[in-house]
Amino acid sequence: MPERRPALALLLTAALGSVAWTWAQQAPASPAGSDEVTAHEKAGRCVEGSEQACMDLVRQGKDGKEHRIMVIRTGTSDDTGIYAVCTPPEGEPEDAPNIGIFSESGPGGIRIVIDRNLIRVPLAEVAQLPAKEGQSGSDGKVEASKGTARFLDDVPEGKTDRLSRCGVEAERQPAPGTVFVTQGKTQLVGQSLVYDGADGIARIDGPITFNRTDQKDPLSGESRQIEINVDSEATVLVGDVVLRSKGGRVSRASRVEYDDQANTARLYASPEQPAESVRGSDSLKITSGVIVYNLERNEVYANAGKEGNISGEFLDGTPPSAP
């Protein structure tokens, strides 16, 4: 590995805003590969002394639990991307956020860590609110997608937005198949992500494709969107969800809560949008409650609740129910 020298930090004041970024005095080593865990991920928070730039948002849950969202640039070379923080210019409200810009075209991309989900994108913009008194961090907003960012040689004349005023340009270019989500054995792909601290939900717009191949009966599927609820640590596939197993099971619902660690998918039903699961001559359909799908065993059972209705055809004449 080539010798590394300490990075320099430069603070540039442009017009009424400011931007901070770092670069190496010598060409840095190759960026972290897509599977290499950064020091921030190992620590579960942004740490000092790492070559990979990091910003984190800290959300205080209603139960008092602290939830942390990390945004990490895996590369360190100016040739593959930038990291910049634009601080509020004079005259802005006291609660104006810092704006962080992350771009990386290398194999590791920009990593966003939310609960058990590891998300990889080319471009991310982070709005980090000022921390309240007595708190170690603060919440905010993250927008991520395909795109590029660069430093500007001159502040564009007439531009008044925060990034232009501090000499940074970022161009979002959302496109299908460019936002990669990993949860355990499962790979999901979408086109853009928005996390908003106002409700604590990260929404990944689709079309979403879903694959879980590292098991005896591989699973694939699609949905319109993914919702990650930071407070409840729940990942939900939303809108026309279809899950297909290689063994022939096809399951459909409007909302599916997915838990790779527990090997389960919970298909939620309503009278307007029933949930169903079909495999060969076996079919299960409910209009209320939930179908619980064991992903490893490729088995389902239903809990329709007091008002729900279970219908279908079953080899032994009995609909599967909760064990």
pLDDT given for residue 134 in this prediction:
72
Cα–Cα distance between 78 and 76 in angstroms, integer? 7
DSSP 25: S
- The residue with greater pLDDT, 263 or 17, is 263
pLDDT given for residue 296 in this prediction:
86
Q: Is the pLDDT of residue 319 over 70?
A: no
pLDDT digits (tens, 9 = 90+) for 4-62: 223 323 333 333 344 443 332 233 333 334 568 999 999 999 999 999 999 999 998 77
Q: Is the pLDDT of residue 3 over 50?
A: no
DSSP 273: S
Cα–Cα distance between 292 and 315 in angstroms, integer? 19
How many other CB atoms are found less than 10 A from the CB of residue 35?
8
E strands of 201-248, at which residues? 201-212, 219-229, 234-245
pLDDT given for residue 75 in this prediction:
94
3-class secondary-structure state, position 100: strand
pLDDT given for residue 309 in this prediction:
58
What is the identity of the amino acid at 261? Q
Q: Is the pLDDT of residue 111 over 50?
A: yes
Mean pLDDT of the chain: 84
Q: Is the pLDDT of residue 94 over 90?
A: no
- Per CATH, the number for 180-313 is 2.60.450.10
pLDDT given for residue 13 in this prediction:
36
pLDDT digits (tens, 9 = 90+) for 153-174: 887 788 888 898 889 999 999 9
Taking a C-beta distance cutoff of 8 angstroms, is the pair 51, 32 a contact? no
pLDDT given for residue 307 in this prediction:
58
Domain ranges of the chain: 8-173, 180-313
Quick one: tokens of 96?
A: 């104006």
pLDDT given for residue 27 in this prediction:
30
Cα–Cα distance between 198 and 142 in angstroms, integer? 12
